[in-house]
Structure 1
Amino acid sequence: MSFKPVRLYPCNPTTARGVSTKLSASKGKIIYTNGKTVIIRDLNDPAIATAYAGHTQNATVARLSPSGYYCASGDVSGTVRVWDIVGEENSLKGEYKVISGRINDLDWDGESKRIIAVGDGREKFGHAFMMDTGSSTGEIIGHSKVVNAVAIRQQRPYRAVTASDDTQIIFHQGPPYKFDKTIKTHTKFVQDVKYSPSGEHFVSVGSDAKIFLYDGKTGDMLGELDDSGHKGSIMACSWSLDNKSVVTSSMDCTVKLWDVESRKSTASWTVGTGVNHQQVGNVWAVPDSLVSLSMTGDLNVFDPRVGDKPARIIRGATKAITSALSTSSDTFLTGTAEGRLVQFSVANGEASYIAGDGHTNLVTGLSSTPDGKVVSVGFDDKLREIEQNSFTPAALSLSSQPKAVAAAADGTVFVAEVNSVEAIRSNQKVSEISTKFVPSTVAAHNTLVAVGGEDQKVHLHEWDGKTLKELTTLDGNKGTVSAIAFSPDGAFLAAGDSSGKVILFKVDERKVVTSRWSFHSARINSLSWTADSQHCASGSLDTHVYVWSVQKPLRNIAIKNAGPGGVNTVVWLESDGHVGKLVSAGADACARLWEVTFHS
C-alpha cells in the first residue's frame, strides 16, 4: 500500500480590521500568509500551489527574492525565515530574530542579498541584514511608533523608505543603510509605501486617504494624486509592471487605478458595501491583472482594461477547516471555524461559498440525507439545510451546542449535543433523548445509531421512527470517543478516541475485531470508510493520517504531517478497491488530495 500527494487546495489570506495586509507577487504567482502557513499560488491555475509551514508563530508577511530562488517570511515573534522555494523540501537558508515583536513588512534589495524587516519592537522598529548570514547591514532608525511598511529601490544607488504610525516616512541611503531624512507629508498613519519597478519613483498611502509621489533617488515629494480620491483610509498601493500606473485599495470598499504622469484616477471599482468588503491589501501580479484583498479574505482580480467589477474572485477558507463531506466524485464541501461553508472542485481547485444565511460560528458537522440534501450544525446552535449550493431559509434552533450530526436511511437527522441526542426530520424535532453520559459524536446506518461518549464507550441504539432504544454498549476505547463511522455495508463500526486509538467493531456480533489501530499519538478527529468497506482512514490532532485495512489489520498507510496543526477531517471521494482519492483538511485551513494505492 502506498500514497502520493495530488493537489493542495490553499487557504486565503487572513485579515484584521484596520490593519494593512501585505501581499506580494512574482512571475504570475501571488504570495501571502495565513496563520503559521505561507502560501504561494499561481494566479491563473488554482491547481498550482505551495504551502510552507516552517514558522512556529503566526506568519505576517512573505516576499520572494528578485532572483526567484528564495522566500523571506516574517512572523509575530520578530523572526524572519529565509527558505528555498526550488524543490519540494523548502530547505531553510537562515532564521534570524530581528526585532522583539511583530514583523509587519519586509523587502529584498535588487541583488537578493539584503533584507530590511520592520514592525513593532521594543528596542527598535526595523533591522537591515544579510540574507545568508544575518549580519547587520545598516540601521533603521528615526521612527517613534510601529513601522507598517518598507520598500527598497531595486537599482543602484540603493535607497530604502519606511512608513510608520508616527505619520512619518524615513528615507535611507545605503548600503549599509543609514538615516538620510524625514518626510512629513501625511497627517495620519502611513499604511504602505512602494518603489516603482524602475526605481524612478516611490509612492505612499495612509489613513488620511492621501497618495503622494516622490523621487526615487532623492526622496523629494513630487506631488499628490488627488483627483476624486478615496473617502476612507488607504491600506495598500502597488505599481504596474510598466511603471505608468499605481493601484490603491481603501477601507471605503473601493479600488482605484491612477495614471502617474497625469496624477489622475483612470479607473475605479467598488467591490461592495460594509465591513466585509473593505479593501486591506493589493498587489499587481501580471501586466493585465491586479489583485485586491477584501476583509473576508476574498482575492478580487481586476483587469484594468475591462469592466467595473472584478474579472474573477478567488475564494477559500481563511480559518481552520473543521468538517468535510464528499458531495460527488467531482466536488467536496468543507465547514470552517468561521462558520463558512466552502465547496471545492476536485479537478481545478476552484472554490465557491454556499450562498444564503449560513452559520455565524464554527461548523461542527456535515452530513448528507438520502434525498440529496446536506445538513450542517455549528456553534451558533443551529441546524441548517443546504440544497443546490444554497442554504434553505429554514434554520432549526437546537437545545444546546452540537458536537456532531448524522443522517439515517429514513431521512432522520441525529445531533449529538452536550447532554442529549436530538432526532430531527423535515426540519422539525421528532424526539430528544437525554443521556446519562456526555455525548461526543454520532453515526447512523439504516436503523442503527451509534453515539460515542466521554465515558469511553460507544452506545448502540435502534431507531424505530419515534425514539431511540439503547441496545448495548461497545467497550474498548481508552479515552473519550471522539469519532465514529459505520462502514457503508453496515458490517463494521470504527471508533476513534482522545488517546489516539481506533477500535474496529463487528456490528452484528457486538465484538472487537481489532484494537491494534493505535499508531496515532493524539485525539482522533475524523474517520472515513472506502465504498467497499475494506479500508478506513483516520485523521488526528497529531497531524498524521493513517489508512487501515480490515483484511490485514496490521498493515497501514501512514501519511505523516498531512496537516500542520492537526488534521480535523478526512473524507474519501472515490475508491475502486485498488486506488482511492482521499481529502484531508485541518487547522491550517488548507485541504489536500491524496491518491492511495491499496495493493502494490
Structure 2
Amino acid sequence: MSFKRAGIFSPNPLTTRGVSTKLSAQKDKIVYTNGKVVIIRDLNNPASSTAYTEHVKDPTVARISPSGYYCASADISGTVRVWDTVGEDRTLKGEYKVIGGRINDIAWDGESKRIIAVGDGKEKFGHAFMMDTGTSSGEIIGHSKAVNAVSIRQQRPFRAATAGDDSSIIFHQGVPYKYDKVIKTHTKFVQDVRYDNTGDRFASVGSDSKVFLYDGKTGDTLGEITDSPHKGSIMACSWSPDSSSLVTSSADCTVKLWDVETKKGITTWTIGSGVSHQQVGNVWSGSENIVSLSMSSDLNIFDRRANSDKPTRVIQGPQKSITSITPSKDSGTFLAGSTDGRILSFSTATSESDSVDGEGHTNLVSGLATSPDGTVYSIAYDDKVKEIVATGQSFTDASATLSSQPRSVAVASDSTVFVTEIKSIEAFRSNQKIHTHQPKYSPHAVAASGVLVAIGGDDQKVHLYQWDGKALKETTVLDGNKGTVSALAFSPDSKYIASGDSTGRVCLFDVQEKKLVTSRWSFHSARVNSLSWTSESRHCASGSLDTHVYVWSVERPMKNIAIKNAGPGGVNVVLWTSEDAKTSKLVSGGADGCLRVWEVTFHA
C-alpha cells in the first residue's frame, strides 16, 4: 500500500469585523491566511493550491515576491518567515523577529530583496530588512499608533508609504528607507495604501470613506476621488495591471471601480446587505479579474468586462476548523461541518465548495450522518438536529431540539436518527423524539448498520443494541479498547465494526461472532476522532488528534499506511470519496480548516 497527495480543499480567509484583511495575488493565484495556515489558492485549478503550515503563531498576512520564487508571511507575534514557493518542500529562507506584536501588512521591493513589515509593536510599528539576512535596510518611523498597511514603489528610486490608525500616511525615501514627510489627508483610520505598477502614483483609503491619490516619487497629493463615493469605511484598494483603474471595497457592501485619470466611477457592484456582506479586502488577480472578500469569508470575483452588477463567481469555503463529515447521495460530493456552524457541500470533480442554503446551525457542528435515502442529518452545539435534502444543497424546515449538547449522530435503516448526548441517547423520526435511553455509562460515539446500533462510552466498551422501531435493547458488549470510545464505524458489509478510543487505539471486532479480531491498530498517540471504511470492507482509515492518518488492512492487520502530519493541529475527519480496483481517494480534515485529498494505492 502507498499514498500520494492528490489535492486540497482550501479554507477561505479569516475575517474580523472592522479590520482590513490583506489579500495579495500573483497571476491567477491569490494569497491569504487562515488560522495557522497560509494559502496560495489557484483560482483556475483549486486542487493545486498550497497550504503552508510552519508558523508557530497565527499568520496574519502573506505576499509572494515579484520574482515569484519566495513568499513572505508574518504572524501575530511579529515574526516574518520567508520561504520557497517552488517545489513541495517549502524550504525556509529565513525567519526574523521584526516587531514585538502583530504584523498587519508586509511589502516586497521590486528586486525581491527587501521587505518592510508593519503592525502594532511595543517599541516600533515597522521594520525594513533584507530578505536573505534579516539585516536592517532603513527605519520605519513617524506613526504614533498601529500601522495598517505598507506599499513599496517597485522601481528605483525606491519609495515607501505606510498608513495607520493615527490617520496619517508616512512617506519614506529609500534605500535605506528613511522618514520623509507625513501626509494628513484622512480624518479617520487609514486602512490601506497601494502603489500602482508604474510607480507613478499611489492611493490610500480609510474609515472616512475617502480615496486619495498621490505622486509616487514625491508623495505630493494629487487629489481626491469624489464621484459617487462609498457610504461606509473603505477597507481595501487595488490597482489594475495597467495602472489605469483602481478598485475599492467598503463596509457599505459595495465594490467600486474607478478611472484614475478622470477620477470618475466606472462600475459599482453591490454584494448584498448586512454585516456578512461587508467588504473587508480585495486584490486584482490576472488582467481582468477582481477579487473582493466579504465579512462572511466569501471570495467574490468580478470581471470588469462583464456587464453585470453582481459577481461573476463566488468562492465559498470553511473559515474555521472542520469538525464533521459525511458522504452525499451524489458520489461526487460530500458534506462537512465546521466550528462556526457552517455546513458546506464539496465537489471532488471541481475541488470547490458551496454553503448549504437555508437556516443552519449557530454553533459547532459536532456530527453529520447520511440516511439510506440520501437525506443528511446534522447536530450541533446549538442543541439542534437538522435535516438537509438528499442533494446536499439546502436545509429543510425540519428541526428538533435536543436535551443536551450532542456528541455523535447515526441513522438506522428505517431512517431513525440516533444522537448521543452527555448522559443519554435520543432517537428521532420525522422530526419527533420517539425514544430516550439513559445508560449507566456516558455515551460518546454512535454508529448504525441496519437495525443494529453501536454505542461507545467512557466505560471503554462498545455496546451493541437492537432497534425494534420503538426502543433500544442491548445484546452484546465488546471489550478491547483502553480509553473512552471516541469513534465508531461499521464496515459496509456489516461484518465488522472498528472502534477508536482516547488513547489512540483502534480495535476491530467481528459483529456476527461478537469477538475481537485485532487490537494491534494502535499506532496513534492521541484520541482517534474519525473512522471510515472502503466500500469493499477491506480497509479502514483513522484520523487522530496526533495529526496523523492511518489506513489499516483487515486481511493483513499488521500492514498499514501512515500519512504523517496529515492535518496540523489534529485530524478530525476522514472519508473515502472515490474508489476503483487499485486506488482510492481519501479526504482528511481538521483544525486548520483544510480538507486534503490523498490517493491511496492498494498493492496485490
Matches for 1:92-171 after TM superposition, within 5 Å: 92-171=92-171
TM-score, scaled to structure 2: 0.98
Amino acid in structure 2 at the alignment position of 1:385: E
Q: Which whole-Å CA distance do the structure 1 matches of 2:477 and 2:114 have between them?
A: 64
Q: Which of 361, 364, 387 is equivalent to 1:362?
A: 364
Q: Which whole-Å CA distance do the structure 2 matches of 1:581 and 1:74 have between them?
A: 34
Partner of 1:53: 53
C-alpha displacement of 1:332: 1.2
Q: Are 1:150 and 1:160, in contact at CA under 8 Å, matched by a contact in 2?
A: yes
C-alpha displacement of 1:574: 2.8
Q: Which of 582, 588, 595 is equivalent to 2:592?
A: 588
Please give the secondary structure, in 2, of the residue aligned with 1:276: helix
Please give the secondary structure, in 2, of the residue aligned with 1:402: coil
C-alpha displacement of 1:585: 0.9
Amino acid in structure 1 at the alignment position of 2:316: R
Q: Are 1:163 and 1:190, in contact at CA under 8 Å, matched by a contact in 2?
A: yes
Partner of 1:597: 601
Partner of 1:255: 255
C-alpha displacement of 1:575: 2.9
Amino acid in structure 1 at the alignment position of 2:312: A
- Give yes or no for the alignment of 1:413 onto 2:414: no
C-alpha displacement of 1:576: 4.0
Q: Which whole-Å CA distance do the structure 2 matches of 1:588 and 1:444 have between them?
A: 29
Q: Which whole-Å CA distance do the structure 1 matches of 2:294 and 2:110 have between them?
A: 30
Range moving further from structure 2, 524-533 or 45-54? 45-54
Q: Which whole-Å CA distance do the structure 1 matches of 2:145 and 2:34 have between them?
A: 25
Amino acid in structure 2 at the alignment position of 1:121: G
TM-score, scaled to structure 1: 0.99
Please give the secondary structure, in 2, of the residue aligned with 1:47: helix
Gap runs ≥5 in structure 1: none
Partner of 2:534: 530
- Over the matched positions of the two proteins, sequence identity in percent amounts to 68
Q: Which whole-Å CA distance do the structure 1 matches of 2:229 and 2:45 have between them?
A: 34
CA offsets 1:126-163 (integer angstroms, 9 cap, x no match): 00000000011111111110000000000000000100
Amino acid in structure 2 at the alignment position of 1:85: T
Q: Which whole-Å CA distance do the structure 2 matches of 1:88 and 1:579 have between them?
A: 22
C-alpha displacement of 1:577: 5.2
Matches for 1:76-91 after TM superposition, within 5 Å: 76-91=76-91
Amino acid in structure 1 at the alignment position of 2:358: G
Partner of 2:556: 552
Q: Which whole-Å CA distance do the structure 2 matches of 1:546 and 1:350 have between them?
A: 25
Q: Which whole-Å CA distance do the structure 2 matches of 1:452 and 1:47 have between them?
A: 36
Amino acid in structure 1 at the alignment position of 2:342: R
Q: Which whole-Å CA distance do the structure 2 matches of 1:371 and 1:572 have between them?
A: 19
C-alpha displacement of 1:491: 1.1
Q: Which whole-Å CA distance do the structure 2 matches of 1:313 and 1:44 have between them?
A: 13
Q: Which of 453, 457, 460 is equivalent to 1:456?
A: 460
Amino acid in structure 2 at the alignment position of 1:84: D
Q: Are 1:71 and 1:85, in contact at CA under 8 Å, matched by a contact in 2?
A: yes
Q: Are 1:532 and 1:577, in contact at CA under 8 Å, matched by a contact in 2?
A: no
- Between the two proteins, the alignment pairs up a number of residues equal to 600
Range moving further from structure 2, 212-221 or 580-589? 580-589
Please give the secondary structure, in 2, of the residue aligned with 1:144: coil
Partner of 2:523: 519
C-alpha displacement of 1:458: 1.2
Cα RMSD over matched residues? 0.9
Q: Are 2:120 and 2:146, in contact at CA under 8 Å, matched by a contact in 1?
A: yes
Matches for 1:358-507 after TM superposition, within 5 Å: 358-387=360-389, 388=391, 389-507=393-511
C-alpha displacement of 1:507: 1.3
Matches for 1:7-18 after TM superposition, within 5 Å: 7-18=7-18
CA offsets 1:477-516 (integer angstroms, 9 cap, x no match): 1111110111111111111011111011111222211111
Amino acid in structure 2 at the alignment position of 1:231: K
Amino acid in structure 2 at the alignment position of 1:377: I
Amino acid in structure 2 at the alignment position of 1:445: S
Please give the secondary structure, in 1, of the residue aligned with 2:526: coil
Amino acid in structure 2 at the alignment position of 1:36: K
Q: Are 1:531 and 1:574, in contact at CA under 8 Å, matched by a contact in 2?
A: no
Range moving further from structure 2, 333-342 or 293-302? 333-342
Gap runs ≥5 in structure 2: none
Matches for 1:193-272 after TM superposition, within 5 Å: 193-272=193-272
Partner of 2:278: 278
